[in-house]
Structure 1
Amino acid sequence: MPAPLPSRARPFSLAALWRWWWLPLLPAAGAGLLWRLGAAPLQVWDEARLAVNAAEMLRSGNWLVAHYAGQPDLWNTKPPLLIWLQALSISLLGYSEWAVRLPTALAALALVALVAAFARRWLGGPLAGLLAGLALLSSKGFITHHVARTADYETLLLLFLTAQLLAAFAWLQTRQRRYLLLAGAAVALAVLTKSVAGLFFLPGILLEITRRGRLSALLRQPATWLAAVLALAPPALWYWLREQAAPGYLQAVWQNELGGRMLSGLEDHAAPWYWYLTPFVSQQFLLWTPWVLLSGWLLLRRPVRRPVHRFFTLAATTGGVFLLIISSSTTKLAWYSAPLFPLLALVLGAGLAVWLRQCWLMMLRRVAAGRPLVWGLKPGLAVALLVGAAFIPSFVALHLRLGKEYRRRYDVAAFNYGPYLRWQARQPGAPTSYVVAHASTDPPISSYNAPLEFYALTARQSRHDTVQVLYPEMQGLAPGQLVVVCGAAAHQALRKYYRVQPVQAQDSCATLRVEAVLPQPPAPPAAKPAGW
C-alpha cells in the first residue's frame, strides 16, 4: 500500500471547497448593500425624519424623547432603537448619509449572515446556505428603497422578526431553553424597533406550535415564562418612561400605529385587501416566482420527519398569518411586506439545494451507466448553469433597477440641498451665515423638508455655520442677506418678495444675495357679510 500523502500534498477535494461556501456572498453583499450607500440624498419622509431625530438627540443629549424642529416628535411615534444606533453612528462617523444608513446596512449584513448560517445548519448544508444568502441578496423586495438601501425601520425589524422565527424552529427541533430566551430577546428588540409590528410573527408561530401539539410542552417549560418577561419588560419599561417624560405620547401611539393604521387609511395609503399579492405575480417579483413555486413543491414532497419540510410548514404558516394581518390593515405600503422576503429566501435556498442535488445524482447515475449526459455537459458544469439560470437574471435586473432608482431619487430638486451645501462649503470664501429657503409645487412637501432640516443641522454642527430655514412665505429677510434655494419653485417664491443678485450656482441650486425688498400689492378687501 502506498504511503499517505503529506497534508500539503493532498489533492484538492470538494469538501475542502465547501469550507469556503460563504465567499460568493461577500461581493454580492458589497454590491447590493454597500455600493453607493451614501450617494443619494436622504429621502424626504421616514429616512430624513429619523436622521433629524438622531441629530437632535445627539445635539440635545435627550436620549429618551425624539425631537423634530426642537419639539417632541409625535408624528414619528416608534420606539427609538434605530434612532439610538443612528445617533451613535453619527457621533463616530460625522454627519453624512453614509453614517445615517450604516446601522441599516449592518443590520442587512447580519440578516444575510443569519439566513445563510441557519440554512447551512438546518436546511441542507453549505449549498443551502449559499443559495439562501444569494436569494436574499437578489430579492427586489429586500435590496430596495425603504428596506436595505435606506435608513428606515424595516431592515432592523426584519432581522429581529426573522430571528424570532428561526429561534422558534430551533426550539421545536431541540427543545433547548436557550432558543426560547433568544426568541424572547428578539421580540423585545423588534418591539423597540417598530412597536406593535414586532409582534406580527408571533400568531403564526404559536399557531404552528399548536398544530404540532407542542403548546402544552411550551407552557410547562419555565424558560417560556422567563422568555415572556424578557420580551415584554424592556418595551413596557421604555413606554412608561417615555410617557412620564412627555405625557400624551401613548395617546399619539394609539392614534398613529393602532387605530390610525389598522382602522383607517393613514395619509391616503388605503388599498384593497389583495394589494400585497400583486408584487408576487408582477414584474417586481416575476423573476423569482417560478423558483419559489418549484422550491415549495420540492419541500412539500419531502418526508415530514425532515427539518426542511418542518421549516417549510412553519414558514408558510407564519408568513401566511403575517400576510393576513397586514392585508387586513387599511393602511398599506409596499415595504410592509418586506418580512416575507427572508422567509422566501430560506425556502428558495432549501428547495433549490434539494433540486440541484437531485440533478447532480441523476447525472452521476447516467455517467455510471455509460449513458450520454444532457447536451454533453459534465455534472458540475450543468449544475453551475442551473444556478446561473436562477440567479444571474435576478441580479442583473436588480442592479439595473438600482441604477435607475439612484438617478430618479437624486434628480429631485427638493433633495439637492445637502450636496449643494457641501459643495458651497468647499468654495473659496464660503459663506458661514445664510438662509436656506424651500418651496415646492407638491403640496405635501411645500412646507416640509426633513432632508433640508438634517442638512441645516449638519452645517450648524459640523461647520458651525449660522443657518436659518424658511418655507414658502419667505418674508422677513433684509438686504445683504445670503439665501440658498434649490429648484424653480423656491427661486420663484424668493423673487416674489425680493430683488436678488446671483452669487454662485450649481445644477438647480444657487446662492443669492438680497438687494431689495419688493413692494407687495395690497391685500384684497374682505368680503362683506351677506345682507349688507
Structure 2
Amino acid sequence: MNVFNTKMLDRIISLIEKCYYVLFILILILILILILILILAAFNIFHNLGNVPIDSWDEARHGVSAYEMMRRNDYIVNTYTYKNDYWNLKPPISYWAIVLGYKMVGFNPLGLRIIPAFAAMLTIFIISIYCLYTKGRIASLVSASVLTTTIPYITEHCARTGDADSIYVLFFTIAILCLSLIEKNKKWLYGYGLAFALAFLTKSWHAGSIAVIGIIYLLFSKLLFKFKIRHIIALILSASIPIAIWLVLRYPKDGLEFLKNMIGYDLMARTSTCLEGHVGGVCYYIEHLQVLNFYWAVVLMGILVALVAFLDEYKSNSKLVSCVFTVVLWIAVPFLFYTFAKTKITWYILPVFPAMAVAIGVGSDFLLKAKARNIISQILIITILAVATYKNEALIREKILTFNKNPNQELFKEVGASKDYKGRKIYMQNCVREQNLVLTSELYADLKPSNDGLEGFLKDNTEKPLLLTTKDEARRLGDKIGKLKLVFESRGVYIFTK
C-alpha cells in the first residue's frame, strides 16, 4: 500500500513538473481576470458616486436621519427635521453606515453613499470567494461578473445610493451562504443567525425572508433533526440578542410607539394593502426583470433549461443538488413573498440578484465541465456570457456617465458659503418639501429645516430665518411675500429672509 502511494505521489509530482508553466500561466490568467472584474465593479459602483444628485426616495430620508443623529448625538432614535420619524420605520444600522460615511469623507453625497458602495463591493467579493471555495474558478469568475453587471443591483436603490438596501443585501447574502455551509460545520448556523439579526436591524421585516428560507432549508435537508438543543438555543440567541439590545435601548426614548408602527404600518399595512400608490399585478416583478435585467434573466432561464437536460448527470451529485436547492429558495421565497404582498416596489426583490449571480456562475461551471459537453457548446456558453456582460455594462456606463446636476440642490452650497445664513432655520413652503432639498440644506449649510412654511416663518422672531419656496408658489403668494428680502435664487426656487 505504501509503495502504491509513493508511486502515485511520484506521478503527480512528475505531472506537475511537466505542466508547471502551463498551470502557472492558467492560474495567473484567472487571477488577472478576477482583478479586472473587481476593477470593473469598482468603476461601476464608485465612478461619479459623489456627483449624481440626491434622490428624495428614500436616500435623502436616510441621509437626513443620519445627519440629525450626529447633530443630536443620539444614535438610537431616527428623526426627520428633528422630529421623531414614524414614517421611515427602519432600525438604525443603515443610519449608522451613513454616519460613518459622513465622518470619513464629509457632509456630501459621497459621504452619504460610500459605505453602501463598499457593502456592494464586499457582496461581490464574498460571492466570488464562496463560489471559488465551493464550486471552482469558473463559477467564481462568472458569478462576480454577473453581479457586477446586474443593472438593478448597481444603479437602482442599492449599490450607488445611500439607501439601506445595499447593506441589507450584504447581510442577506451572508446569511444564506452561512446556511449553505452548515453541513460542513455547524458553527455556520450562528453566522446565519447573526446575519439575520443584522439584516433585521438594517431593513426591519424584510429580513423575514431569511428566516423562511432557513426554516425550509433546515427541514427539507433534515439538518434540523441533527442539531442538539444547545445548537438551537445558540441559533435563537444569535438571531435575537442584537435585536433585543436595540429594543431595550430604544424603549426609554418613546416606549412602544416605534415598534407599534413597525408592526402596524411597515408589516401589516404594506403586505395587506397598497400603500403610497405602489400598485402592481402578479407579474409585476417578472416584468421588472424583463425591463431592467433582461440579459441575465434570459441567461438564467437558458441555464436552468440546460440543467434539466443534464438531470441524470448531476442528480447523484449531492453537493450540486444542495447548492441548486439553496439558490432556488434564495430566489423563490423573496420573489413569491413580494409578489403576493399588496405594496409593490422594484427594489424589494434586490436580494435575489446575488442568488441569480451564483446560479449563473455555478450552472455555467457545470455545463462547461459536463461529460456530454463539446467544443461548440462550450463556445456557445462563453459567447452568451460575454454578450450579456457587454450589453449590461454598456447600459450601466450610460447610466452612470449621463446625469444632470440639480440646481436647487446646488443652491445650498451658496447658502453654506455665506456666514450670514449658515446654520439658520429654514421654512419650506408646500411643494418644496422635497426630501433631497431638506438633506442638502443640512449637508451644505447646516440649516434647520421646518415644514411649517410661510406661517411659521412669519411667526419666527429669531435672527435671519429663511423661507424656501418655488417660483410658482411665490407668484401665488403675491403680497404675502412682497416685503421679504430675496437672498438666494436658482432655476426653480427662491430663498427669502425678513
1:359/1:146 CA distance change after superposition, 3 Å: farther
Aligned length: 476
Amino acid at match of 1:41: P
Amino acid at match of 1:170: L
Contact 1:243 1:250 in 2 (8 A): no
What is the CA–CA distance in structure 1 between the aligned matches of 2:33 and 2:77, rounded to whole Å? 45
What 5-or-longer segments of structure 2 have no aligned partner? Answer: 1-13
1:165 maps to which residue? 176
Instruction: Output one character per residue of 1:213-263: Cα deviation in whole Å (capped at 9) or x when no partner.
Output: 322113x26333212211112102312331232122221222222222122
2:232 maps to which residue? 224
TM-score (norm: length of structure 1) = 0.79
Amino acid at match of 2:204: S
**TM-fit CA distance, 1:297:** 2.9
1:362 maps to which residue? 374
Instruction: Output one character per residue of 1:292-349: Cα deviation in whole Å (capped at 9) or x when no partner.
Output: 1122234443234253332112211232122222222211111101111110011111
| Alignment partner of 1:398 is 2:410 | no
**TM-fit CA distance, 1:417:** 3.6
1:422 to 413, 422, 432: 413
| Alignment partner of 1:127 is 2:138 | yes
| Alignment partner of 1:105 is 2:125 | no
What 5-or-longer segments of structure 1 have no aligned partner? Answer: 364-372, 441-445, 515-532
State, as a whole percentage, how many aligned pairs show the same letter.
19
1:262 maps to which residue? 271
Q: Which has the higher helix share?
A: 2
**TM-fit CA distance, 1:53:** 0.9
Alignment of 1:477-488 (within 5 A): 485=468, 487-488=470-471
1:530 maps to which residue? none
1:277 maps to which residue? 286
- With 326-335 and 340-349 compared, the bigger mean Cα shift is at 326-335
1:470/1:197 CA distance change after superposition, 3 Å: same
Instruction: Output one character per residue of 1:420-473: Cα deviation in whole Å (capped at 9) or x when no partner.
Output: 22145458x875477756446xxxxx2633222223323454xxx788776365
**TM-fit CA distance, 1:487:** 4.6
What is the CA–CA distance in structure 2 between the aligned matches of 1:431 and 1:233, rounded to whole Å? 46
Instruction: Output one character per residue of 1:68-88: Cα deviation in whole Å (capped at 9) or x when no partner.
Output: 222222112211011112112
1:120/1:306 CA distance change after superposition, 3 Å: farther
**TM-fit CA distance, 1:98:** 0.7
1:345/1:498 CA distance change after superposition, 3 Å: same
1:157/1:287 CA distance change after superposition, 3 Å: same
1:476 maps to which residue? 458
Secondary structure in 2 aligned to 1:266?
A: coil
Amino acid at match of 2:191: L
Secondary structure in 1 aligned to 2:193?
A: helix
Contact 2:128 2:143 in 1 (8 A): yes
TM-score (norm: length of structure 2) = 0.84
Contact 1:482 1:511 in 2 (8 A): no
What is the CA–CA distance in structure 1 between the aligned matches of 2:383 and 2:355, rounded to whole Å? 25
1:222/1:358 CA distance change after superposition, 3 Å: same
1:133/1:491 CA distance change after superposition, 3 Å: farther
1:68 to 80, 99, 112: 80
Contact 1:438 1:471 in 2 (8 A): yes
1:502/1:190 CA distance change after superposition, 3 Å: closer
What is the CA–CA distance in structure 2 between the aligned matches of 1:466 and 1:187, rounded to whole Å? 36
What is the CA–CA distance in structure 1 between the aligned matches of 2:33 and 2:219, rounded to whole Å? 36
- With 74-83 and 261-270 compared, the bigger mean Cα shift is at 261-270
1:121/1:493 CA distance change after superposition, 3 Å: farther
Contact 2:432 2:469 in 1 (8 A): no
**TM-fit CA distance, 1:160:** 1.0
- With 339-348 and 430-439 compared, the bigger mean Cα shift is at 430-439
What is the CA–CA distance in structure 2 between the aligned matches of 1:341 and 1:330, rounded to whole Å? 22
Contact 2:59 2:161 in 1 (8 A): yes
Secondary structure in 2 aligned to 1:78?
A: coil
Contact 2:45 2:159 in 1 (8 A): yes
Contact 1:51 1:86 in 2 (8 A): yes
What is the CA–CA distance in structure 2 between the aligned matches of 1:89 and 1:382, rounded to whole Å? 44
Amino acid at match of 2:246: W
2:298 to 285, 290, 304: 290
2:157 maps to which residue? 146
